[in-house]
Structure 1
Amino acid sequence: MAFHTDTANHSSPHAPSAAARKRPPLYARLGVQIVVGIVAGIALGFIAPKLAVDMKILGDIFLRLIKMIVAPLVFLNVVLGIAAAGDLKNVGRIGLRALIYFEIVSTIALAFSMVIANLSNVGVGMHLTQNAADAAAAHAQYGKAAPVSLEHFMLTLFPDNFVGAFANGSLLQVLVISIGFGAAVLMLTREQRSSVEHALTRMSEVFFKFVDVIMKFAPLGAFGSIAFAIGSSGMSAVIALGYLLIVMYLTLAFFVVVVLGIVLRLYGFNVFRFLRYFKDEIFLLFATASSESALPRLFEKLERLGCSRQSTGLVLPTGYAFNLDGTAVYMSLCVMFVANAYGVPLSLHQQLGLLVLMLVTSKGAATVSGGTFIVFAATVTASGMLPIEGLPILFGINRFTSQAVAICNSIGNSVATLVIAKSSGEFDEHAARDEYQRVFGARPGKVI
């Protein structure tokens, strides 16, 4: 299948070689600037906590800029991905494989982390008791996170306003619009389709340039976000719930390195080199604690790595709604944490029931304002088994858990895009090898 080459392609034979490219000085590299921003934010958080809290506005502005660009970028990439596929049968083939992969990996993430939660006994020993006043306050604050029924979830998929879906930043609704619009493009005549594709491609290129402009502010956003996190809570919250954080970070790291590492190895990739390739995005995710912050850059880098426009445009944004591996790990661990902290015994039957519930509710993380924590609140509410007043305790460390969850979600969806592209014949291995050689300066062996 022919690959779309309108976007910048560093593997082009006319592109300058790695040796001919002059690497920018260390201080000018985005990854280095983000790390400097993180370190400066941590330092300010401890030295001047009050001033650090005021720096929150820098992180908020950067996240607003990113969220502003996500919906149109997803729309353009999905539509162009469907158009590049050539026919709806090919779209269905890629989409079906992606959904099967998403469900398998999400189930593994939920079950694996539930086992870890039982073995590690997170929350045991806190001996918290349910208090009527605390329960009422928690219900007032979090009770609005209504149980996610199948009917409600299906209804949220379909927007009642074209512009409203973009204005509200509802990723699932934008996906539905994009798929319908892409199908309409395929129904045009060849001449009509060509002109529409050309216009959308140019729009996509402009938006990617806009992303480059926004990314100039990433170090400031990282500085402000980290400074606020440290200045507002210091280390007290981390110490109080440190064991949960340690278990969660280790579980997420194990899932990425071992579980996703095995998947990558089966498809000819080395997980550590893969992570090195996305190191700038990982630093950004850690600083902003938002999966959306890296999405625009992932589109670009996955295409440069050899994934076709159609596979990247279809799988990556769909994965952000249906393949949230980090969210799955978070939910399993926190459900058991709340149960153990309040001394609520959960039988194997009840835990399996919660797994099924979380398999549904975790899919709503992209549709609910507030992300993973609000979806977790909806799960606790819907279960009827757990004390809802345990939610504010976890909210105290939400910033620290969100950082690791965002990294796992984004890496998981990058791996999914690569796997579906290779299994569907939508992957250019020569481009991948050339890109790795450009980035790492050495020709990869059999395993890329």
Structure 2
Amino acid sequence: MPGQPLNLEKSMAFHTETAPHHGPDAEPATARKKTPFYARLGVQIVVGIVLGITLGFVAPKLAVDMKVLGDIFLRLIKMIVAPLVFLNVVLGIVAAGDLKNVGRIGLRALIYFEVVSTIALMLSMVIANLSGVGMGMHLTQSPEAAAAAHAQYGKAGAVSVEHFLLTLFPDNFVGAFANGSLLQVLVISIGFGAAVLMLNQDQRVSVEHALSRMSDCFFKFVDVIMKFAPLGAFGSIAFAIGSSGMNAVISLGYLLIVMYLSLAFFVIVVLGIVLRLYGFNVFRFLRYFKEEIFLLFATASSESALPRLFEKLERLGCSRQSTGLVLPTGYAFNLDGTAVYMSLCVMFIANAYGVPLDLHQQLGLLVIMLITSKGAATVSGGTFIVFAATVTASGMLPIEGLPILFGINRFTSQAVSICNAMGNSVATLVIARSTGEFDESAARSEYQRVFGVAPGKVI
């Protein structure tokens, strides 16, 4: 907790034993050569974004054809996310040494997730009411359009506790990985990690060593995939601008502005306060993850930065145990950006169609969204399909408003994915520090290496 003395000896020893051996940072500082600015991944991604935007306006038809580059990159990322999550969760459980320690970290993480997600939902609902998003559109719902929309989006299905619980448990080990169902992969990982802890000492050491080497190999694979990030950024942005243009989003521009400002407020103010309580500066924190933020903005996918977040959070002092448990779990249970998106879009549809929602109804929607937002990582189509499920499950809102919001889904996803990723990175730091699984000296050394100056009292 804030102000709690850190067991630096324990956490430094753990970090030394479990620090990843992959990547250029494993080499001695004297052996590293200064990378030219044009060879840096962040610079290349920014160049890809700028070129994509330019092509989108200059040659829209050609820009639309560039979508394949972004799709290929996202496929490569999604291909590696499930095994990477599995390996890191299992290694995090094994590193804990016993299931009691796993439960200690997991319980704190889940409490944190629920508190922060609720704050995100309530804050954005208040902003939606004050800003009046959707008012003035005066849309009407026709029975024919309602029936067509239900036929298209009804497959999202009403969300119930029973259905949600069933989606947690896979009926096929390989199928959970093949379908990219993150919640099911987490369940498999927790069970497998518990099984490894039940082995005798010699067997456990052998399995842990094998899994650790596999994890190192997958991170090397990530390094290879990230070489294609600038091309993926170029293709994704070019398609978004070329296919939509400014005219297509002008009627929803106000919603976009409110959403971006709300997400920025949540990251800088709400998460900033949380970081400050635990000894971190939010602006320095965001600068540290600037390459991942550019990537998230370009790909509009929270998964795209997950492999890099694993690496950077460990370098920043979080133990493999805390990183392996909290970060992937947060991607299923702590989607702060998704919570903000859902609250604003619910009120947008209600206002656009003139559907009055009193306080009791809005609180009911908040409860529904607390459940459905947890499934955003398990449903094909991501945030928008989960939002469609929420609208369908509520029974209060016209589902024909969904295609309208789908038109700007690309632009909203860019900011939502950044908020989701940064929210889970903050959660990992908070849980690591509050459970004594954080190496402050490693964090200070990493900041000094990255920024060139030693941090003060606040890291």
Question: Alignment partner of 1:144: what SS?
Answer: helix
Counterpart for residue 160 of structure 2: 149
TM-score by length of 1: 0.98
Match of 2:150 among 139, 149, 166: 139
Q: Is the Cα contact below 8 Å between 2:19 and 2:320 reproduced in 1?
A: no
Counterpart for residue 18 of structure 2: 5
Q: Deviations over 1:128-170 (max 9, x none)?
A: 0012222222112111110111000000100011001000000
Correspondence 1:91 to 2:102: yes
> Which runs of 5 or more structure 2 residues have no equivalent in the other structure?
1-9
Q: Is the Cα contact below 8 Å between 1:267 and 1:422 reproduced in 2?
A: yes
Match of 1:395 among 391, 403, 406: 406
Per the TM alignment, residue 23 of structure 1 is displaced from its structure 2 partner at its CA by 2.3
Counterpart AA for 1:244: L
User: Distance between the aligned counterparts of 1:102 and 1:176, measured in 2?
Assistant: 17
Counterpart for residue 288 of structure 1: 299
Match of 1:301 among 294, 303, 312: 312
User: Distance between the aligned counterparts of 2:281 and 2:23, measured in 1?
Assistant: 21
User: Distance between the aligned counterparts of 2:272 and 2:207, measured in 1?
Assistant: 39
Match of 1:231 among 235, 239, 242: 242
Q: Give the count of matched residue pairs.
A: 446
Of stretches 7-16 and 187-196 in structure 1, the one that deviates more from structure 2 is: 7-16
Correspondence 1:54 to 2:54: no
Q: Is the Cα contact below 8 Å between 2:176 and 2:185 reproduced in 1?
A: yes
Counterpart for residue 120 of structure 1: 131
CA gap 1:177/1:350 in 2 versus in 1, 3 angstroms: same
Counterpart AA for 1:328: A
User: Distance between the aligned counterparts of 1:241 and 1:334, measured in 2?
Assistant: 11
Counterpart for residue 70 of structure 1: 81
Question: Alignment partner of 1:143: what SS?
Answer: helix
Question: Alignment partner of 2:18: what SS?
Answer: coil
> Which runs of 5 or more structure 1 residues have no equivalent in the other structure?
none
Match of 1:82 among 85, 93, 117: 93
Counterpart for residue 341 of structure 2: 330
Alignment of 1:138-287 (within 5 A): 138-287=149-298
Q: Is the Cα contact below 8 Å between 1:10 and 1:304 reproduced in 2?
A: no
Determine what percentage of the aligned residue pairs are the same residue: 87
Counterpart for residue 440 of structure 1: 451
Per the TM alignment, residue 238 of structure 1 is displaced from its structure 2 partner at its CA by 2.4
Counterpart for residue 417 of structure 2: 406
CA gap 1:350/1:335 in 2 versus in 1, 3 angstroms: same
Per the TM alignment, residue 9 of structure 1 is displaced from its structure 2 partner at its CA by 8.3
Per the TM alignment, residue 14 of structure 1 is displaced from its structure 2 partner at its CA by 8.3
Question: Alignment partner of 1:445: what SS?
Answer: coil
Question: Alignment partner of 1:368: what SS?
Answer: coil
Q: Deviations over 1:24-45 (max 9, x none)?
A: 1111000000000000000111
CA gap 1:76/1:296 in 2 versus in 1, 3 angstroms: same
Match of 2:28 among 12, 15, 32: 15
User: Distance between the aligned counterparts of 1:181 and 1:305, measured in 2?
Assistant: 27
Q: Is the Cα contact below 8 Å between 2:70 and 2:299 reproduced in 1?
A: yes
Per the TM alignment, residue 237 of structure 1 is displaced from its structure 2 partner at its CA by 2.5
Correspondence 1:35 to 2:85: no
TM-score by length of 2: 0.95
Q: Deviations over 1:253-280 (max 9, x none)?
A: 0000000000000000000000000000
Counterpart for residue 119 of structure 2: 108
Per the TM alignment, residue 11 of structure 1 is displaced from its structure 2 partner at its CA by 12
Counterpart AA for 2:442: A
